[in-house]
């Protein structure tokens, strides 16, 4: 039996700022720091009733207590943003258990609390918690890739988070808390599938993913500052 294979890597992609950034700076919606563009972060956790087009998953019943199953609450918040014709779904600091899968529709961003790409050790294990930001803990699909055959990693019907056209996920951790760190690693479905054009994945860490990011179906996708601890390579 092969020993577990661990490999860590970071992906950094930079692009020139779009023309509308100048207008956003002039209006105070965006600031310039160190010669680059940075989105202003709210001083407190945004709530659906206090900031337009921002929906907090906690307003829909999610609890970051590392115990409560939150799939339905997350999807309800995401769907509310979609019904509003686009917006941001905020995940506050905490560990959120998700036994099911999520779909982020067009024009919706799922955002956590981290201001830059997070980085942690995979082997915290034994139920230990990450206490410094927004952490999603997938528990579904353990032992299967969700793909049609073991030799076809792209013909898959199950993905933890699917991003549609113009959808984005940013500033959070996906932590496979039940992944093996001493024995042979077990498969899980893809962490992210960029299923539509212009989908984006920014400042995201994946701990213990089996197949991490499937982006071949997304033209003009944007992936920046992604940190992973991979359990499976071919």
Domain locations in the chain as residue ranges: 45-230
CATH class entry, domain 45-230? mainly beta
CA 231-152-7 angle, 5° bins: 15
Can you give the pLDDT of all 234 residues of the chain as single tens digits? 333 433 443 443 333 334 443 333 333 343 333 333 334 443 334 444 456 689 999 999 999 999 999 999 999 999 999 999 999 999 999 999 999 999 999 999 999 999 988 888 776 544 455 788 999 999 998 888 877 665 566 777 789 999 999 999 999 999 998 887 778 888 899 999 999 999 999 999 999 888 899 988 789 999 999 988 765 444
- Cα atoms found within 13 Å of the Cα of residue 204, Cβ hemisphere only: 22
Two tokens at 109? 């961003």
Is 0.85 surpassed by the pTM of this model? no
């Amino acid at each position: 039996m092969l020993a577990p294979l661990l490999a860590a890597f970071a992906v950094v992609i930079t692009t020139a700022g779009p023309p509308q950034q100048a207008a956003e700076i002039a209006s105070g919606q965006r600031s310039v720091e160190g010669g680059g563009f940075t989105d202003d972060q709210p001083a407190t956790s945004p709530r659906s009733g206090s900031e337009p087009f921002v929906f907090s998953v906690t307003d829909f019943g999610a609890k970051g207590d590392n115990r409560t199953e939150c799939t339905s609450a997350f999807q309800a918040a995401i769907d509310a943003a979609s019904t509003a014709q686009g917006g941001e779904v905020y995940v506050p600091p905490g560990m959120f258990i998700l036994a099911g899968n999520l779909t982020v529709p067009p024009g919706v961003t799922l955002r956590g609390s981290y201001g830059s790409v997070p980085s942690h050790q995979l082997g915290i294990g034994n139920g230990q918690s990450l206490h410094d930001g927004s952490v999603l803990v997938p528990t579904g699909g353990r032992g299967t890739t969700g793909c049609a055959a073991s030799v076809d990693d792209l013909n898959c019907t199950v993905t933890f988070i699917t991003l549609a056209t113009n959808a984005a996920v940013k500033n959070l951790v996906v932590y496979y808390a039940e992944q093996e760190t001493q024995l042979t690693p077990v498969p899980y479905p893809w962490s992210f599938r960029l299923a539509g054009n212009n989908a984006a994945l920014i400042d995201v860490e994946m701990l213990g993913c089996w197949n991490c990011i499937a982006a071949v179906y997304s033209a003009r996708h944007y992936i920046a500052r992604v940190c992973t601890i991979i359990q499976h390579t071919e």
